[in-house]
Amino acid sequence: MAPMTDDQATYLRERQVGVLATSKKDGSPQQAMITYLFDGSHIVISTLKTSAKIHNIRRQPRVSLLVPDGKQQVIAYGTAEVLDGRERDRYIMAIREHQGDPLPADYDLDRFHERLNELGRVIIRITPQRVLN
């Protein structure tokens, strides 16, 4: 993980919306508004495995994430990877909890896993390598 100040880490933890930039096949940038969770080490984003973001990341894993707030901003540059399976499930549960929509304690986690597979959900996990503001 990139050296990050406490202020930058707090800034990322306290926000949920950013602009993810990936590279298209021709090298031009593609940007998308996303919601994310910063867990203190990684930035995680839930999306569909058929999205252009996923195709771009699998081809070129270097990404940037701009998190604006008025005149303030933090930009994280890093490497992204695509996760599925049980690791994806844990991240999606953490995202739901962060957004105030946790799963009930007695929820069938095997059914949850199957449903995420049916929906084609994956996680983009970004490891920040440089953080600026």
pLDDT in tens, 77-90: 999 999 999 999 99
- Nearest CA-CA partner of 120 in 36, 50, 35: 50
pLDDT in tens, 83-120: 999 999 999 999 999 888 888 888 899 999 999 999 99
Which amino acid is present at 92? I
Q: Supply the pLDDT for residue 101.
A: 87
CA distance 45 to 36: 5
CA distances from 81 to 24, 30, 45, 78 (A): 16, 17, 11, 10
Spans of all domains in the chain: 6-132
Residue 25: pLDDT over 90: yes
Q: Supply the pLDDT for residue 103.
A: 86
Span 18-31, mean pLDDT? 97
pLDDT in tens, 33-65: 999 999 999 999 999 999 999 999 999 999 999
Specify the fold of 6-132: Pnp Oxidase; Chain A (2.30.110)
Q: Supply the pLDDT for residue 2.
A: 61
CA distance 65 to 57: 13
